[in-house]
Amino acid sequence: MHARAAGHLVLVGLMGAGKTSVGRICAERLGLPFVDTDALVERHAGRTVAQIFTAEGEAGFRALERQAVAEAVRSPEPVVIACGGGTVLDPENRARLKDRGLVVWLDAPPAALAARTGEGDDRPLLAGPDLTGGIETVLASLADDRRLAYEDAADVVVETGDLEAEQVVGRVIDAYAAHQRGRRA
Ligand code: S3P
């Protein structure tokens, strides 16, 4: 079987980019199963992402996340995969995702991401006492740190800042349809 045979639709981007909500709608419209790497990690660990960060630190979480990515892409049939925001930091994850699917980066300015995540968020990287400057500052710094990794991972970028969720879904589905046509041609 060809390495890219599965043709998954993979969504990457920072926290608040809309990967899970857009991914769910895309999966429904395309009639494909939906997989969220954070949910896979939580199911296997029997704990929440926040609990894993507390008990094992970020490194422990990243190890479980790597297993979840490997499991998600293994499906022989196409699936829609919403990746946790930091999955692209690992070169092995990037290679796996790119090899087995179309990787779409949902990008947005930090202010838009901050508005979508909000205060009281239980994401470990957006919680805690060391949030100097607030969520927007943290997201801006993560965006700087991760830009190259997202660029490397992505086949397609959708700038979501000024778009309604429905418009984002439309662009993602169009990109995926074009990709699938290209694969069949
Ligand atoms: C993380 C993003 C989260 C989750 C974890 C770490 C990150 O997923 O995987 O809290 O490093 O950006 P979402 O992007 O789905 O919120």
pLDDT per position as a tens digit, 112-156? 999 888 666 778 888 865 666 788 999 999 999 999 999 999 999
Distances (CA, A) of 8 to 11, 12, 50, 114, 177: 10, 13, 28, 28, 11
Residue with CA nearest ligand 1 atom 8: 84
Q: Which atom of ligand 1 is nearest to the CA of 13?
A: 14
Please report, for the chain, how many H helices and E strands are present, in that order.
Answer: 7, 5
Q: Determine the distance from the C-alpha atom of residue 73 to the mean position of all C-alpha atoms in its chain, rounded to a whole number.
A: 13
Instruction: Give the least confident one: 2-16, 31-45, 105-119.
Output: 2-16
pLDDT in tens, 14-33: 999 999 999 999 999 999 99
State the pLDDT at residue 173. Answer: 98
Residue carrying the six token digits 């694969």: 183
- What's the N-to-C CA distance of the chain in angstroms? 17
CA of 143 to the centre of ligand 1 (A): 13
Q: Which atom of ligand 1 lies nearest, measured to the CA of 83? A: 15
Residue whose CA is closest, atom 4 of ligand 1? 84
How far apart, in Å, are the Cα atoms of 63 and each of 111, 155, 184?
A: 30, 25, 35
Residue 2 clears pLDDT 50, i.e. is over it: no
CA count, 13 A, side-chain hemisphere, 93: 27
Q: What is the pLDDT of residue 126?
A: 86
pTM of the model: 0.94
**Is the model more confident about 86 or about 5?**
86
